[in-house]
Structure 1
Amino acid sequence: MTNRKNAFLFYKKDEELEEKIHKVREIGRKYDYQLVENPKDANIIASFGGDGTFLQSVRKTGFREDALYVGVNDGRLGFYTDFNTNDLEKIELALQSDQTEVLQYPTLEVSVDGTESFQCLNELSVRSQIIKTFAIDVYIDGLYFETFRGDGMVVSTPTGSTAYNRSLSGAIVDPKLPSMQLTEIASINNNQYRTLGAPLILNHDRELTLKIVQDGNDHPIIGADNEALSIRHSHEIKVKVSNKKIKTLRMKDNLFLHKVRRSFL
């Protein structure tokens, strides 16, 4: 990180956390890092909290491709947070050695009805807003694939495959595979309705289209990572793997498989 010296700290104000961050600031000054008040002036954006805080830091700062995102957790496990406020020695080691490396995580590019567009780092979720199932016609590269009926669908990135997607029995995908995964939420499968009934992993050059069938339930909740979007009367949602990637910093001895084993095994 020798060529990156302007850092912006993203966190929720908390007295206990503030005390820990003060110590991190002191370490940064020791190695000539400058703190900036505006994230637009930063080439390092460090979040303090869990994975949810990291996702918010990326979203609130506009998915910067020219900045390096660093996740620092507060004692909880995380897939995006390689550092810990309780282990200042490791943070200092990262600033002065070659024990770190930069990873590039793929994102999703989403458009709604051809107007609203946004990025996702973890997943896109489309869920029913009322206590009633709804139907979605699924198209892949413009070809009709199936009609889903149930509570909703989730489209996840490889890094997001360990989050909401996994709770739906989706597959865990290696982040080195540029792809997206479509997973059902409580699908109905009977003689009238039939879906694949399994997670579907699509290559990075595919385009997924979800057309919401207008049958009285045309107000779905659309979630981008851990944030609900106020988009009403949605009819068509297009999703593809974006060319935009997020750069993150991790320790070389903390591989994705280490995180999977530590979190789930």
Structure 2
Amino acid sequence: MTERNNIFFYYVTSKGIEEKLSTLSNVAIENGFEIVEHAKNANIIVSIGGDGAFLQAARKTGYRQDCLYIGINRSGESSLYCDFNMDNFDEMLDTMQHEELEVRRFPIIHANVNGETSFYCLNEISVRSTIIKSIVIDVYIDDQHFETFRGDGLIVATPTGSTGYNKSTNGAVIDPRIPCFQVTELASINNNRYRTLGSSFILNQDRKLRLSVRQDGNDYPIIGLDNEAYSIRNIHDITVTLSDKVVKTVKLKNNSFWDRVKRTFL
């Protein structure tokens, strides 16, 4: 494992975390791993703190294509991105050293705002009104007008992100082996003037989605990028495609995506 022996811990400082990390670091060193202080020097990026921390670790470290991302929960609660918890850190190291490593590859979506600013998302991008008024968005698929949406907003989710915000709004849960992304409505208004599909729809990896925001008072909508929110002035167009980038994680035996879904929701 000489090619994968540098570990960087990503975490938010909180009470007791330094003591726990010291224990984890000692165990890692005893097993032949090296702890590094900067993500750029790591081959393995370990997030501490659940799915939210995992999303932040991937974003803050630039979705490194030459790294493995591993999530560790600080408690025994279920998690869709985190295979491990503080109590089975030894199991993680043993898996990486002694077992044939199977790597998951989670799709990422790329979003471009106004043809200027680019973002990547592992879960989803959402567009919502910041005022007490519905937002109007013209939806284009491959530059062909599909529908004019009016309501609270739209969510564009990856397959792994389909279990998050998307699922809470009745979107479908999608197998991450399917290279695609999903569009889900937030409280759409359907009347004689505005008519939408009224359900989620799924786009293949080679499709291009463009959301054109009508400038009618919602010039500053909130854009949610995974678990971060951005307010960008005068948003006209958001173009979303499936990126060539992926997030790579270690897959444990008997812990597929659907095992995680069952453990979390059923």
- Bucket of the pairwise TM-score, normalised by the shorter protein: over 0.9
Q: d(CA) in 2 for partners of 1:87 and 1:207?
A: 42
Q: d(CA) in 2 for partners of 1:200 and 1:179?
A: 10
Aligned to 1:12, the other structure's residue is in SS state: coil
Aligned to 2:87, the other structure's residue is in SS state: coil
1:224 aligns with 225
Aligned to 1:13, the other structure's residue is in SS state: coil
- Does structure 2 retain, via aligned residues, the 8 Å contact 1:4–1:43? yes
TM-score (norm 1): 0.96
* Gaps in structure 1 of 5+ consecutive residues: none
Displacement of 1:91 in angstroms is 2.7
Residue 135, structure 1, aligned to residue 146, structure 2: no
How many pairs were matched up? 265
Aligned to 2:254, the other structure's residue is in SS state: coil
1:250 aligns with 251
Structure 1 segment 66-77 matched on structure 2, within 5 A: 66-75=66-75, 76-77=77-78
CA shift in 2, pair 1:188/1:141, >3 Å: same
- Residue by residue over 1:91-134, the C-alpha shift from the partner in whole angstroms, topping out at 9 and shown as x without a partner, is 34324331652111110011001000110110001000111101
Displacement of 1:177 in angstroms is 0.2
- Does structure 1 retain, via aligned residues, the 8 Å contact 2:27–2:90? no
Structure 1 segment 12-31 matched on structure 2, within 5 A: 12-31=12-31
Displacement of 1:227 in angstroms is 0.5
2:11 aligns with 11
2:124 aligns with 123
Q: Which of structure 1's runs of 4+ aligned residues deviate more than 3 A?
A: none
Structure 1 segment 52-91 matched on structure 2, within 5 A: 52-75=52-75, 76-91=77-92
Greater CA deviation, 40-49 or 11-20? 11-20
Letter in 1 for 2:35: L
Q: d(CA) in 2 for partners of 1:100 and 1:78?
A: 21
Letter in 2 for 1:141: D
- Residue by residue over 1:125-181, the C-alpha shift from the partner in whole angstroms, topping out at 9 and shown as x without a partner, is 100011110100000001000000000000000000000000000000000000000
Letter in 2 for 1:223: G
Q: d(CA) in 1 for partners of 2:197 and 2:97?
A: 50
Letter in 1 for 2:47: S
1:260 aligns with 261
TM-score (norm 2): 0.96
Q: d(CA) in 1 for partners of 2:22 and 2:168?
A: 36
CA shift in 2, pair 1:233/1:70, >3 Å: same
2:239 aligns with 238
